[in-house]
Amino acid sequence: MKYKTIRGTRDILPAEISQWQDAENAARELFKRYGYSEIRTPVMEETGLFIKSVGEDTDIVKKEMFSFRDRGERDISLRPEGTAPIVRAYLENNLVNLNPFQKLYYIGPMFRAERPQAGRLRQFHQVGIEAIGSNSPALDAEVIIVMAGLLDSFGVKNYTMKLNNLGCADDKKKLSKSLKELFSKKEVASLLCDDCKRRAATNPLRVLDCKIESCKVVVRKYFKEVEFLCADCKKHFDDVLKFLDLVKIKYAVDPYIVRGLDYYTRTVFEASCGSLGAQNAVGAGGRYDNLISDMGGPVTGACGFAVGIDRALIAAGKVPGETGGAKVDVFVAPLGEEAYKKAFLVLADLRASGISCDIDYESRSLKSQMRSADKLKARFVLIIGDDEIKKGEAALRNMQTKEQVCVSFDKLAAAINGKIE
């Protein structure tokens, strides 16, 4: 019997790993420029953390978490997202006492039991930031600017940054109440999809971003009439837009962006890419001003985003490399048993001097060793035969120019380092 990856999970193979490493390195470099520090939290958390933060009535918590009871009868879930664990870590580790304003970033796998399709996985990877401890609209703008910078550095083009203002908790309640009334009208309710019929009572805001066409039609026809934002929330959002205009970030205000997580307040945003098809959100985020206090911390604002790396690489048109695998500076090709021993020593010396090199483990002919060198895209081949050992030197061949020179064993590392710098 052959084992296979679990549905909705995938291997990231050597041929594509450099794209992931490049993306992660670009993210780290960008976040450093904005003053963010990395945080790593466990992939498992108490299930209650997500019920409390993401929300009991959300699709993520209701249908998509990988939850189980462990041997100690504890309810545990694989993390479906990174914000709640980071807020938990911020409070549990008293980061608030070190500095109440914290800028944190994370890169790692998340888990959601969604129906797998192109760009939608059960284990996917997010890179994100959470800035905790400020209510300033300049922070919302900066978080959006960082996300735009990240998408740029990944090579994602042609995306639309959509923004909306959900208002504070009171505004959301007001909106929720009017939507409940609206969706309970017979003529409106009858047009909603089955999911939205249920949402209309439990989480009516989610109806606003339902992807089903008939629901979109209902929302666009009736929703305009609802006015729910307080003056402070209106001003906050206007200020966010002013900051974005200052640095010429392109965006579109879209009143139907509500996001699938309950903790959001005020600014929410989503970057979507037409080329991705149905799963078109490459990244998203927003402000969550009540989450810290709801979880037992101080009353303080926070804002963040997460970009899906799997999706961003698809959106950037990245395809696995042709050959992939390791690339080495030098391929050492010994001819014969004595030469192999010498080559083994040379290999250790070169590696200790910082030169990447490899050898053929099967002691094959020079011709097949040259083929291996080509496969590894070696820049130099170092040929060691009995003659060379007698003379105390090796033949160093430049694979591009085909030029070959003899170099004494004790000068090899210096000679190669001089050529590859």
CB of 32 to ligand HAM, least distance (A): 19
Our finding on whether 290 is near ligand HAM (CB under 6 A) is no
Distance between CA atoms of residues 122 and 7, nearest Å:
7
Which one, 103 or 311, has the nearer CB to ligand HAM? Answer: 311
Which one, 64 or 360, has the nearer CB to ligand HAM? Answer: 64
Q: Which residue of 58, 126, 165, 372 would you call a contact of ligand HAM, by CB under 6 A?
A: 126
Our finding on whether 128 is near ligand HAM (CB under 6 A) is yes
Tell how strand 37-38 and strand 159-165 pair up.
unpaired
Distance between CA atoms of residues 226 and 209, nearest Å:
15
CA 172 to chain centroid, in Å, comes to: 29
Stretch near ligand HAM under the rule CB under 6 A, chosen from 149-157, 218-226, 300-308, 388-396: 300-308
Which one, 132 or 355, has the nearer CB to ligand HAM? Answer: 132
Phi, psi at 305, each rounded to 5°? -150, 165
Distance between CA atoms of residues 313 and 123, nearest Å:
15
Which one, 312 or 381, has the nearer CB to ligand HAM? Answer: 312
Our finding on whether 397 is near ligand HAM (CB under 6 A) is no
> What string marks each residue from 23 to 42 as x (binds ligand HAM by CB under 6 A) or -?
--------------------
Interaction residues for ligand HAM, span 79-98 (CB under 6 A) = 81-83
Distance between CA atoms of residues 159 and 151, nearest Å:
9
Q: What letter represents residue 64's amino acid?
A: E
CB of 138 to ligand HAM, least distance (A): 17
User: If 0-12 CB within 10 Å is exposed, 13-18 middle and 19+ buried, where does residue 97 land?
Assistant: exposed
Q: Which residue of 85, 137, 285, 297 would you call a contact of ligand HAM, by CB under 6 A?
A: 285
Of 293, 261, 300, 265, nearest to 82 (Cα)?
261
Of 69, 9, 24, 79, nearest to 49 (Cα)?
79
> What string marks each residue from 306 to 335 as x (binds ligand HAM by CB under 6 A) or -?
x-x-xx------------------------
Our finding on whether 130 is near ligand HAM (CB under 6 A) is yes
Phi, psi at 128, each rounded to 5°? -155, 170
Q: Which residues bind ligand HAM (CB under 6 A)?
A: 81-83, 112, 114, 120-121, 124, 126, 128, 130, 260-261, 281-286, 304-306, 308, 310-311
